[in-house]
A and B are shown apart, each in its own frame.
Chain A
Amino acid sequence: MASTFFLIALGFVIGLGGWALFLWAVRSGQFDDAEAPKYRMLDDDDEVQNKPKKKGMAEK
């Protein structure tokens, strides 16, 4: 009996955590731009310094 209610309460609390996360996400604009992130992941970070030159590249 008690364990049942404990588990229900536990499930509910975990769920509440998810709900709070969702509320925060909507309020802070996480859902506002669904386009850019998929491109942003393809961006390089700042260009790597002093890349070794490929062989056969013409020196100018």
Chain B
Amino acid sequence: MNLRSNQTIRCDHCMQEVPASAAVTAVIDGETRNFCCHGCLGAYELIHGESLDAFYQQRCDWQPGRPAFAAVDAREFADDVVSDGSQSRIELLLSGIRCASCVWLVEKVLGRLDGIVSARVNFATHRATVEWRSDAVTLDKILKTLSGIGYLPRPVRQGSQVEAFSAEKRDLLLRFGTAGFFSMQLMLIIAALYAGFFQGIETTYRLAFQLISWALATPVVFYSGWPFISNALRSMRNRALTMDVLVALGSLAAYFYSVAMIFTGGEVFFDTSAMIVTFILLGRFLEAGSRLKAGSALAALADLQPREALLVDAEGQTSLTPLERIGEGAVVEVLPGDRMPLDGVVTGGEADVDESMLTGESAPVTKIDGSKVYAGTCAITGRLRVKVSGDARQTLLASIIRTVEEAQARKAPIQGVADRVAGWFVPAIILLAAATFAWWRLSGAPPVTALMNAVSVLVIACPCALGLATPLAILVGTTAVSRKGILVKGGDIFESISKTTTVVLDKTGTITRGAPTLTDTFDYGASGNFMQRCASLESLSRHPAGRAIAEGWHGETVPVEEFRSIPGMGVSGVIAGEAWISGSRALLEKEEIEIDAECLATAAKLEASGKTTVFVACDRKLAGLFGLIDELRDDAGRMIGALRAQGLRLMILTGDNVGVARYIAGKCGITEVRSGLDPIGKADAIRELKRNGETVLMAGDGINDAPALTEADTGVTFGTATGIAIESAGVTIMNDDLELLGTLLAHSRKCFAVIRQNLAWAFGYNLIAVPLAVGGVLHPIVSALLMATSSLVVVSNSLRLRKI
């Protein structure tokens, strides 16, 4: 590989040209190799020593030098610089931060620059905060340094959702921390008052402690509890009573009642007023934290999308172009180490692409001519030319982001129950408290007793279980499954999963590998170039069976005109003036093409052994027959076992023939199989199940069963299906692991069992406790303790869902 020209040598490892005099030479296995430096020599020896020399053949069109990066324009960042004359500070977004080492590298490299005061990188948000002395170093130099080591700086876009979430979380943390501190102090004092209540206490002490506790409770109720109070006021103005009204009312009632008691010499319940606020704030804080996490995950996804691409023009020249100006049909070039700018099809080059952000699969996928690539995935080796299939809004990445955004706005129906109940529960409790007061007054009790009983009612009616437990349980549940790479679109979907009675599985690609291999070919001699014609026609098909047939031909393909794809049935087109049709028997019957007995007998034999048959006709005459086999996936058996153990009814739908369906069903032990269905037929089958009162979950790969996925109560797609599949399915399982389906079903059921327990607890508790409070049996102190216990029960019950 060493090209000697003008006294320069190419380095055998990195292909950079070096002067022959400066080259490092080494004799390896009897051959002289040249290197530009000891680093490359070391790398070569390492690769050679591990017998990985194939690397040097595989990097077909690799170019020496650094990966090309877009030039960074310092003017874009000018608005973000905060300067006080001598020192400047900027916060910027770094793309390419993958791990803690990246953080270390950026901080160290910047720290070495003259004039840098400090450089910190936030690992979670990928933001770098750099301070520098304005007279010693320029912003331009900092940006160039960053892009030079491979981390492209970008301006922080203000006003994003994540910003709002983290501001909210910080605010809640402050309020909760303050509430926690004052409540702790307060509980100490109140403990003394409790002891005094049961054992007697001097009045001076009692008054002093009451005054102290008043002082301590005030910031909790009015600062920490301010969100509840303001929300309550707002909802009262809108004539809708929410949980916040009950929280605020209970807390304020206890507070003002206690203040009145200080002056009339009764018992105080500042602890109640403060603890209600503290507990509910804790719930809100946890919720805000997970919302922020979800938001950051979204932002990280959005960051994967490059904002410019190397557009290839008609002369084959590349130029860096903003994505907005690149549309369908354009050709872009992707260099090693770059991310795909848009979805598309490879038209030239070969590369290993890391698709882990979409599939969770860490092993890179080799992309060749005709492979689909997705925006945001990263080319590791080799350069690609990609024909763009749609603009930035149509990418798979964009549809995932849209899905996740939607998911955050959706509520489970069961939560609607809780909200509806809250709608009448709150006013009912308020009325009940008023009625309690009136009734006690009328029956001749002193105002203090009447008021105390009324407050007891307000305090003991625990809204937490209703207002907090359900959303918290759903949140914890969906977060737990998302850690496994299961994307659930929303709480409502999660609820319908938990009600599933029948699981319908699409055969191809879901329980089988989805990549059949060609095993038998019968050519009936209708045309001279049977195999070539079939392969040319099928090479345009997106169906796996078509791909398998296309792969069975290693020669040249010929152009196809008038290509049509009939979903779930086959393809047709015109080749060299002959009308070719290739597809299922149903397709040929629809086209009224006669199939002779001999061919039917052969097909039946193939089908009996579990093979899929593809019939081919040329100019309306039967031309040939293919047999393909698609084996069961290794994890299908385990998944089916897990689902059956959960007592679910299982059914397989397939577009294939009866024989194949029977063969596969026999292999995995599912008795209910419907075969020979087109996409509409699959949807019909599901509709029929639903008519019989079943709640149906359909799992498919989404390529040709989008109607069925939409028809089912829940649609689940696996792996990187198409954008359409993600939009039509309620759940996308990113890791291609069938067993996760069982995990998802089990966990959703557990989640809703927990919610039902919570609601049952809440209702049961209120049914028993409220009448007791009305009857004046319970002292408000006891009510407050009961209320706190009840809240703790439902919250900790919801947190059980963290473990899958």
Contacts of B166 in A (CB 8 A): 32
- Within the complex, what minimum Cβ distance (angstroms) separates B171 from chain A? 9
Q: When the two chains form their complex, are residues A11 and B185 in contact, meaning their CB atoms are under 8 A apart?
A: yes
Chain B residues 7-35 with CB under 8 Å of chain A are none
Q: List 10 A–B pairs whose Cβ atoms lie within 8 Å, in order of A's numbering.
A: A8-B212, A15-B184, A15-B185, A19-B181, A22-B177, A32-B124, A33-B122, A35-B124, A36-B121, A60-B41
Which residue of B177, B178, B208 has the most chain A CB atoms within 10 A of its CB atom? B177
Which residues 1-56 of A sit at the B interface, judged by CB distance below 8 A? 1, 4-5, 8, 11-12, 15, 18-19, 22-23, 26, 31-36, 39-40, 42-43
The 8 Å CB contact of A12, one of B103, B174, B178, B185, is B185
A39 & B103 in contact (Cβ 8 Å cutoff): yes
Classify the secondary structure of B's interface with A. Answer: helix
Tell me which residues across on chain A come within 8 A of B208, comparing CB atoms: 5
- CB of B212 within 8 A of CB of A33, answer no
**Do B123 and A39 have beta carbons less than 8 Å apart?**
yes
A23-B173 Cα distance, complex, nearest whole Å = 10
Q: Does B685 contact A (CB under 8 A)?
A: no
Interface size on B, residues (CB 8 A): 26
Judged by DSSP, the binding face of A is helix
Q: Kindly provide the distance from the CB of B174 to the nearest chain A CB, expressed in whole angstroms.
A: 5
Determine the chain B residues whose CB is within 8 A of the CB of A40 once the complex forms: 100, 103-104
Task: Check A19 against B104 for contact (C-beta < 8 Å).
Answer: no
Nearest residue in A to B173 (C-beta to C-beta)?
A: A26
Q: A5-B208, A22-B181, A23-B178 are in contact. List 9 more A-B contacts (CB 8 A).
A: A22-B177, A26-B170, A31-B173, A33-B123, A33-B125, A35-B123, A35-B124, A60-B41, A60-B42
Q: Are B173 and A36 in contact (CB under 8 A)?
A: no
Residues of A within 8 A of B170 (CB): 26, 31-32
Q: Report if B188 contacts A (CB, 8 A).
A: yes
Contacting residues, chain A, for B212 (C-beta < 8 A):
8
Chain A interface residues (CB < 8 Å from chain B):
1, 4-5, 8, 11-12, 15, 18-19, 22-23, 26, 31-36, 39-40, 42-43, 60
A18 to B185, CA, bound (A): 12
Residues of A within 8 A of B636 (CB): none
Cα of A44 to Cα of B189 in the assembled complex, Å? 49
Cβ contact within 8 Å between A60 and B38: yes
B104-A18 in contact (CB<8A): no
Q: Knowing A15-B181, A43-B104 touch, does A23 contact B174 (C-beta < 8 A)? A: yes
The CA of A19 and the CA of B178, in the complex, are separated in Å by 7
User: What separation, in Å, do the CA atoms of A31 and B292 have in the docked complex?
Assistant: 13
Interchain CB contact under 8 A, B103 and A18:
no
- A-side contacts of B121, CB under 8 Å: 36
Specify which chain B residues have a CB less than 8 angstroms from the CB of A8 in the assembled complex. 189, 212
Docked Cα-Cα span, A53 to B521, in Å, equals 66
Which A residues are in CB contact (< 8 Å) with B185? 11-12, 15
* A26 B177 Cβ-Cβ under 8 A: yes
Residues of chain B within 8 A (CB-CB) of A34 are 124
Q: In the complex, what's the smallest C-beta–C-beta distance from B362 to chain A, in angstroms?
A: 20
Interchain nearest-CB distance for B162 vs A (Å): 12
Measured in the bound complex, the distance between the Cα atoms of B191 and A11 in whole Å is 15
B267 to chain A, nearest CB (A): 20
> Which A residues touch B103, using CB under 8 A?
36, 39-40
Q: Which residues B152-171 have CB closer than 8 A to chain A?
A: 166, 170
Closest Cβ neighbor of A4 among chain B residues:
B205
Complex: chain B residue closest to A31, CB-CB? B173
Contact digits for B203-227, partner A, Cβ 8 Å, 1 yes 0 no: 0110010001000000000000000
Closest chain B CB from A32 CB (angstroms): 7
Which residues on A sit within 8 Å (CB–CB) of B100? Answer: 36, 39-40, 42-43
A46 to B145, CA, bound (A): 19
Q: Which residues of A contact B125 (CB under 8 A)?
A: 33
Chain B residues with CB under 8 Å of A43's CB are: 100, 104
Q: How far is the CA of A31 from the CA of B205 in the complex (A)?
A: 40
- Closest partner residue, chain B, to A60 (CB atom): B38
Residue among B38, B166, B188 having the largest count of chain A Cβ atoms under 10 Å: B188
**Bound complex: CA A42 to CA B104 (Å):** 10
Least Cβ–Cβ distance between A3 and chain B, in angstroms: 13
Measured CA separation A8–B186 after assembly (Å): 11
Q: Restricting to B773-795, which residues have a CB under 8 Å from any CB of A? A: none
Question: What 0/1 pattern do residues 121 to 142 of B give for CB contact below 8 A with A?
Answer: 1111100000000000000000
Contacts of B174 in A (CB 8 A): 23, 26
Instruction: State how many angstroms separate the Cβ of A38 from the closest Cβ of chain B.
Output: 8
Kindly provide the distance from the CB of B775 to the nearest chain A CB, expressed in whole angstroms.
37
Complex-state Cα separation, A34 to B178, whole angstroms: 21
A42–B101 Cα gap in the complex (Å)?
Answer: 10
A35 contacts which chain B residues (CB < 8 A)? 123-124
Tell me the minimal C-beta distance from B114 to chain A in angstroms.
16
Cα of A18 to Cα of B124 in the assembled complex, Å: 27
List the B residue with the shortest CB-CB distance to A43. Answer: B104
Q: Assess whether A36 is in contact with B181, with CB atoms less than 8 Å apart.
A: no
Residues of A contacting B177 in the complex (Cβ-Cβ under 8 angstroms): 19, 22-23, 26
Shortest A34–chain B CB gap in Å is 7
Residues of A within 8 A of B188 (CB): 11
Report yes or no: B178 in contact with A33, Cβ–Cβ below 8 A: no
Q: Give Cα distance in the complex from A33 to B128, angstroms.
A: 12
User: Inside 8 A of A12's CB, which chain B residues have their CB?
Assistant: 185
Q: Which residues of B contact A23 (CB under 8 A)?
A: 174, 177-178
The 10 closest A-B pairs by CB, nearest first: A39-B100, A36-B123, A35-B123, A33-B122, A19-B181, A35-B124, A43-B104, A22-B177, A33-B124, A26-B174
